Structure 1
Amino acid sequence: MLTSSRYRFYWVNFGIPLICAAVVFLLFDMTKIDIAFSDLFYDPATQMFPLDNVQLFEKITHKWARIIPNWTGEAAIIGALLSFLWPRLKADKHVKLIAYLEKIRVAPLLRFATKHRRDFLFIVFAFSICTGVIHYLKGHTSVYCPVETTQYAGKIEHKEWYENFDLLKVAGEGRCWPGGHASGGFTMLALYFVARRYRWRHSKAILYGSLLLGFVYGTTRVLQGWHYMSHTFWAGIFVWLACLLTALAFYGRGRLELPVLRKDEEPVVVAKPQSIS
Structure 2
Amino acid sequence: MPTSLPPSRLSVFWPRLLLAWAGFAALMLAFARLGLDFRLADFFYRLEGGEWSLRHGALTEALLHEGGRDLSQAMGGAVILALALSHGLAPLRPWRRPLWFLFLAVAGSTLAVSTLKQLVSMECPWDLTRYGGWAPFIGLFEARPAGFPDTACFPAGHASAGYAWVALFPFLTAVQPRWRWWGLAVGLGLGLVFGVAQQLRGAHFLSHDLWTLMLCTTISAVAAHWLLSGRPVTSLTLAETPA
Shift in Å at residue 142 of structure 1?
0.5
C-alpha change, 1:50 and 1:245, in structure 2 (3 Å) is same
- TM-superposed CA distance for 1:23, in Å, is 3.4
Alignment check: 8 A CA contact 1:184 1:214 kept: yes
Report whether the alignment pairs 1:238 with 2:238.
no
Alignment match, 2:3:
none
Gapped runs of 5+ residues in structure 1? 87-109, 166-170
Partner of 1:89: none
Aligned residues: 234
The reply to whether residue 194 of structure 1 matches residue 171 of structure 2 is yes
Aligned letter for 1:178? P
**Deviation at 1:239?**
0.6
Flag the structure with more relative contact order, 1 or 2, with Cα contacts below 8 A and sequence separation at least 6: 2
Alpha-carbon separation, structure 1, partners of 2:199 and 2:64: 11
2:204 aligned counterpart, secondary structure:
coil
**For residues 141 and 126 of structure 1, what CA distance do their matches in structure 2 show?**
22
1:57 Cα deviation (Å)?
3.2
Q: Could you say which residue in structure 2 is the equivalent of 1:82? A: 85
Q: CA deviation at 1:75?
A: 1.1
Which residue of the partner structure matches residue 103 of structure 1?
Answer: none
Normalization by structure 1: what TM-score?
0.72
Separation in 2 of the partners of 1:184 and 1:58?
Answer: 15
Indicate if the aligned counterparts of 2:105 and 2:219 stay in contact, CA closer than 8 A: yes
Note the C-alpha offset of 1:46.
Answer: 6.5
Take 2:10 and 2:52, find their aligned partners in 1: how far apart are those partners?
Answer: 47
Residue equivalent to 1:159: 138
Q: CA RMSD in A?
A: 3.1
Q: Give yes or no for contact 1:52–1:225 (8 Å, CA) kept in 2.
A: yes
CA, structure 1 residues 272+151, in 2 after alignment: closer, same or farther (shift >3 Å)? closer
* 5+ residue gaps, structure 2: 1-5
Question: Using a 3 Å threshold, how does the CA distance of structure 1 residues 162 and 189 change in structure 2: closer, same or farther?
Answer: same
Q: Pick one of 56, 60, 68 that aligns with 2:59.
A: 56
For residues 8-58 of structure 1, give each alpha carbon's deviation from its aligned partner in whole angstroms, at most 9, with x where no partner exists: 65566x256324412331122344221121011214996521222422332
Native 8 Å contact 1:43 1:50 kept in 2: no
CA distance in 2, matches of 1:25, 1:244: 21
After superposition, the Cα gap between the structure-2 partners of 1:267 and 1:120, relative to the gap in structure 1 and judged at 3 Å, is closer
Deviation at 1:147, TM superposition (A): 0.3
The percentage of aligned residue pairs carrying the same residue is: 26
Contact 1:187 1:239 in 2 (8 A): yes
Query: Residues of 2 paired with 1:208 and 1:270: CA distance?
Result: 27
- Report the CA distance shift for 1:269/1:57 in structure 2 as closer, same or farther (over 3 A): closer
Q: Determine if contact 2:91/2:239 at 8 Å carries over to the other structure.
A: no
Q: Which residue of 2 aligns with 1:127?
A: 106
TM-score between both structures, scaled by the size of structure 2: 0.81
Q: Distance in 2 between matches of 1:20 and 1:118?
A: 31
Q: Which residue of 1 aligns with 2:97?
A: 118
Structure number with greater Rg is 1
Does the Cα contact within 8 Å between 2:79 and 2:99 map onto a contact in 1? yes
State how 1:60-75 maps to structure 2 within 5 Å: 60-75=63-78
The alpha carbon displacement at 1:219 in A equals: 1.3
**Corresponding residue number in structure 2 for 1:247:** 224
SS at match of 1:116: helix
Q: How far 1:225 moved relative to its partner?
A: 0.8
1:271 Cα deviation after fit: 6.0
